[in-house]
Amino acid sequence: MSAPPASEMHRPTVVARIGMTPMHVTVTATEAERAAITARLGIVAVLGLECRFALRRREDRPDDKARGMVVGEGVLRATVVQDCVVTLDPFEETLTENFRVHFVRAGTEIEDIDPESDDELPYEGESIDLGEAAVEQLALVLDPYPRKPGAELPQGLGAGPASPFAALARRARDG
Protein backbone atom coordinates (compact mmCIF):
# COMPACT_ATOMS: atom_id res chain seq x y z
CA MET A 1 0.00 0.00 0.00
CA SER A 2 1.52 3.33 -1.01
CA ALA A 3 1.67 6.36 1.24
CA PRO A 4 -0.71 9.22 0.45
CA PRO A 5 0.88 12.14 -1.41
CA ALA A 6 2.33 14.85 0.79
CA SER A 7 0.06 17.80 1.39
CA GLU A 8 0.98 21.13 -0.17
CA MET A 9 0.41 22.74 3.23
CA HIS A 10 1.47 20.28 5.92
CA ARG A 11 0.53 21.47 9.46
CA PRO A 12 0.57 18.48 11.82
CA THR A 13 -1.08 18.87 15.23
CA VAL A 14 -0.61 16.16 17.85
CA VAL A 15 -3.98 14.78 18.92
CA ALA A 16 -2.80 14.19 22.51
CA ARG A 17 -2.36 17.97 22.94
CA ILE A 18 -6.05 18.56 22.18
CA GLY A 19 -8.39 18.43 25.17
CA MET A 20 -12.07 18.96 25.86
CA THR A 21 -11.51 22.73 26.04
CA PRO A 22 -11.12 24.21 22.54
CA MET A 23 -7.57 24.68 21.28
CA HIS A 24 -7.27 27.53 18.78
CA VAL A 25 -4.91 27.15 15.83
CA THR A 26 -4.49 29.34 12.74
CA VAL A 27 -2.79 28.07 9.60
CA THR A 28 -1.68 30.42 6.82
CA ALA A 29 -0.30 29.34 3.44
CA THR A 30 3.11 30.60 2.36
CA GLU A 31 3.75 31.83 -1.18
CA ALA A 32 5.26 28.47 -2.22
CA GLU A 33 2.34 26.59 -0.67
CA ARG A 34 -0.18 28.83 -2.45
CA ALA A 35 1.54 28.06 -5.78
CA ALA A 36 1.33 24.31 -5.11
CA ILE A 37 -2.33 24.59 -4.03
CA THR A 38 -3.07 26.57 -7.20
CA ALA A 39 -1.68 23.71 -9.29
CA ARG A 40 -3.59 21.08 -7.31
CA LEU A 41 -6.93 22.88 -7.63
CA GLY A 42 -6.42 23.83 -11.28
CA ILE A 43 -7.27 27.51 -10.85
CA VAL A 44 -5.42 30.67 -11.92
CA ALA A 45 -4.07 31.62 -8.47
CA VAL A 46 -4.47 31.36 -4.72
CA LEU A 47 -3.51 34.83 -3.48
CA GLY A 48 -4.20 34.16 0.18
CA LEU A 49 -5.34 31.28 2.37
CA GLU A 50 -5.90 31.35 6.11
CA CYS A 51 -7.88 28.93 8.21
CA ARG A 52 -8.70 29.29 11.89
CA PHE A 53 -9.58 26.16 13.83
CA ALA A 54 -11.11 25.56 17.25
CA LEU A 55 -10.25 21.94 18.06
CA ARG A 56 -11.58 19.79 20.89
CA ARG A 57 -11.60 16.10 21.72
CA ARG A 58 -14.83 14.18 21.35
CA GLU A 59 -14.81 11.55 24.08
CA ASP A 60 -18.40 11.98 25.26
CA ARG A 61 -19.62 8.88 23.41
CA PRO A 62 -18.77 5.49 24.92
CA ASP A 63 -18.29 3.68 21.62
CA ASP A 64 -14.90 2.96 20.05
CA LYS A 65 -15.63 5.12 17.01
CA ALA A 66 -15.50 8.27 19.15
CA ARG A 67 -12.13 7.37 20.67
CA GLY A 68 -9.55 9.68 19.16
CA MET A 69 -12.15 11.85 17.40
CA VAL A 70 -11.39 15.55 17.20
CA VAL A 71 -14.08 18.07 16.33
CA GLY A 72 -12.79 21.00 14.33
CA GLU A 73 -14.86 24.13 13.85
CA GLY A 74 -13.30 26.70 11.65
CA VAL A 75 -13.39 29.72 9.42
CA LEU A 76 -11.67 29.66 6.06
CA ARG A 77 -10.68 32.90 4.36
CA ALA A 78 -9.16 32.80 0.89
CA THR A 79 -8.57 35.07 -2.04
CA VAL A 80 -8.44 33.24 -5.36
CA VAL A 81 -8.31 34.06 -9.05
CA GLN A 82 -10.44 31.92 -11.35
CA ASP A 83 -11.42 32.08 -15.02
CA CYS A 84 -15.01 33.14 -15.66
CA VAL A 85 -16.98 30.43 -17.49
CA VAL A 86 -18.83 33.10 -19.49
CA THR A 87 -16.16 35.62 -20.48
CA LEU A 88 -13.04 33.46 -19.89
CA ASP A 89 -11.53 36.48 -18.13
CA PRO A 90 -9.67 35.85 -14.88
CA PHE A 91 -11.26 37.51 -11.86
CA GLU A 92 -10.43 37.76 -8.18
CA GLU A 93 -12.82 36.52 -5.53
CA THR A 94 -12.66 36.53 -1.73
CA LEU A 95 -14.18 33.50 -0.04
CA THR A 96 -15.20 33.14 3.60
CA GLU A 97 -16.67 29.88 4.88
CA ASN A 98 -17.58 28.56 8.32
CA PHE A 99 -17.27 24.79 8.58
CA ARG A 100 -17.20 21.85 10.96
CA VAL A 101 -15.30 18.60 10.46
CA HIS A 102 -14.55 15.49 12.48
CA PHE A 103 -11.01 14.14 12.43
CA VAL A 104 -11.35 10.39 12.98
CA ARG A 105 -8.88 7.54 13.20
CA ALA A 106 -8.52 5.83 9.81
CA GLY A 107 -10.86 2.86 9.61
CA THR A 108 -13.47 4.30 11.99
CA GLU A 109 -15.26 6.47 9.44
CA ILE A 110 -19.06 6.30 9.49
CA GLU A 111 -20.47 4.72 6.35
CA ASP A 112 -23.44 7.14 6.36
CA ILE A 113 -23.63 9.19 3.15
CA ASP A 114 -25.85 11.88 4.67
CA PRO A 115 -24.91 15.16 2.92
CA GLU A 116 -26.10 17.09 5.99
CA SER A 117 -23.68 15.38 8.38
CA ASP A 118 -20.25 16.80 9.20
CA ASP A 119 -17.39 15.73 6.96
CA GLU A 120 -15.00 13.18 8.41
CA LEU A 121 -11.28 13.45 7.72
CA PRO A 122 -9.42 10.24 8.58
CA TYR A 123 -5.93 10.39 10.11
CA GLU A 124 -3.26 7.85 10.90
CA GLY A 125 -0.70 8.00 13.65
CA GLU A 126 -0.79 10.54 16.42
CA SER A 127 -1.43 13.80 14.55
CA ILE A 128 -3.97 15.46 12.30
CA ASP A 129 -2.98 17.66 9.35
CA LEU A 130 -4.70 21.03 9.63
CA GLY A 131 -3.03 22.28 6.45
CA GLU A 132 -4.54 19.49 4.38
CA ALA A 133 -7.91 20.10 6.07
CA ALA A 134 -7.71 23.78 5.04
CA VAL A 135 -6.90 22.88 1.42
CA GLU A 136 -9.80 20.40 1.32
CA GLN A 137 -12.19 23.04 2.68
CA LEU A 138 -11.01 25.49 0.01
CA ALA A 139 -11.63 22.87 -2.69
CA LEU A 140 -15.17 22.38 -1.36
CA VAL A 141 -16.08 26.09 -1.41
CA LEU A 142 -14.72 26.86 -4.88
CA ASP A 143 -17.49 27.38 -7.41
CA PRO A 144 -17.06 24.74 -10.14
CA TYR A 145 -18.54 27.22 -12.64
CA PRO A 146 -17.14 30.56 -11.53
CA ARG A 147 -18.82 33.60 -13.02
CA LYS A 148 -17.32 37.07 -12.90
CA PRO A 149 -19.72 39.55 -11.27
CA GLY A 150 -21.98 41.01 -13.95
CA ALA A 151 -21.08 38.41 -16.59
CA GLU A 152 -24.09 37.21 -18.50
CA LEU A 153 -24.54 34.79 -21.35
CA PRO A 154 -25.20 36.49 -24.71
CA GLN A 155 -28.85 36.53 -25.82
CA GLY A 156 -29.95 33.21 -27.26
CA LEU A 157 -26.81 31.41 -26.16
CA GLY A 158 -27.39 28.54 -23.80
CA ALA A 159 -30.93 27.92 -25.05
CA GLY A 160 -29.61 25.02 -27.15
CA PRO A 161 -31.44 23.26 -29.96
CA ALA A 162 -34.99 22.18 -29.36
CA SER A 163 -35.30 18.69 -27.99
CA PRO A 164 -36.90 16.16 -30.36
CA PHE A 165 -39.31 15.45 -27.54
CA ALA A 166 -40.46 19.08 -27.42
CA ALA A 167 -42.67 18.52 -30.46
CA LEU A 168 -44.21 15.45 -28.81
CA ALA A 169 -44.84 17.41 -25.62
CA ARG A 170 -46.56 20.21 -27.58
CA ARG A 171 -48.66 17.67 -29.48
CA ALA A 172 -49.74 15.94 -26.27
CA ARG A 173 -50.50 19.27 -24.60
CA ASP A 174 -52.49 20.61 -27.56
CA GLY A 175 -54.43 17.40 -27.80
* Within-domain flag for 39: yes
* Within-domain flag for 164: yes
User: Exposure string (b/e) for 39-76, b if CB count within 10 Å is 16 or more?
Assistant: ebbebebbbebebbbebbbbeeeeeeebebbbbbebeb
pLDDT at 160: 57
pLDDT band at 67 (very low <50, low <70, confident <90, very high): low
* Within-domain flag for 162: yes
pLDDT at 1: 38
**Rg for the chain, CA atoms, rounded:** 22
pLDDT band at 170 (very low <50, low <70, confident <90, very high): low
pTM of the model: 0.79
**Percentage above 70 pLDDT, the chain:** 79
Please measure the distance between the N-terminal and C-terminal CA atoms of the chain and give it in whole angstroms.
64
Predicted confidence (pLDDT) at residue 3 exceeds the cutoff of 50: no
* Within-domain flag for 120: yes
Mean pLDDT of the chain: 85
Predicted confidence (pLDDT) at residue 4 exceeds the cutoff of 60: no
* H helices present in 79-174, as ranges: 130-141, 164-174
Q: For residue 38, give its domain range.
A: 12-174
* Within-domain flag for 2: no
pLDDT at 163: 65
* Within-domain flag for 116: yes
pLDDT at 152: 83
* Within-domain flag for 92: yes
* Within-domain flag for 65: yes
Query: How many angstroms separate the CA atoms of 159 and 170, rounded?
Result: 18
**Percentage above 90 pLDDT, the chain:** 61
How do residues 16-65 score in pLDDT, each as one tens digit?
A: 999 999 999 999 999 999 999 999 999 999 999 999 999 999 765 555 45
Q: Which of 101, 74, 60, 89 lies closest to 150 in space, CA to CA? A: 89
How do residues 123-142 score in pLDDT, each as one tens digit?
A: 999 999 999 999 999 999 99
Q: What domain count does the chain have?
A: 1
Range with the poorest average pLDDT among 67-71, 72-76, 122-126: 67-71
